[in-house]
Amino acid sequence: MNILVHTQSLENYGGHDWNGKGECPQYWKFKGGMSILVCGVKSDRHAVAVVLSNSSTNSDHYMEFPSRWEEVGADFVPIIGRENCTYEAYKSGRYVHRIWDEKGQELEEVPKE
């Protein structure tokens, strides 16, 4: 099973001028995120766990976490790499930032079943 996991990033603009003393000011703004295709997993929960353990960040200044996911079929052909990230590729839903296996290891392409 292949699962396309989308992440959401937030940046704390209040932390930019924080001197590290006391409590960090909170002024969070939604930013972009990533789309990661996780291949060869047994469930969507497994794919989300792989992304959470390998890509998530949580600090006073920035956080990123899985926000939504979907199973994609064997006929799903991803568009990979920033050089290929056109508006059309993004809108098609096929653009991915990374392809991983079930252990979070980077892959060059989707494995053949």
Provide the pLDDT for residue 45.
97
What are the extents of the domains in the chain?
2-16+27-100
10 Å CB burial of residue 10 (0-12, 13-18, 19+) is middle
CA pair distance 3, 101, nearest whole angstrom = 10
Q: pLDDT confidence of 65, banded at 50, 70, 90?
A: very high
Average pLDDT over residues 17-22: 76
The confidence band for 77, taking pLDDT boundaries of 50, 70 and 90, is confident
Q: pLDDT tens digit string along 25-58?
A: 888 899 988 899 999 999 999 999 999 999 888 8
Higher pLDDT, residue 21 or 16: 21
Average pLDDT over residues 93-99: 85
Question: Is a pLDDT exceeding 70 seen at residue 113?
Answer: no
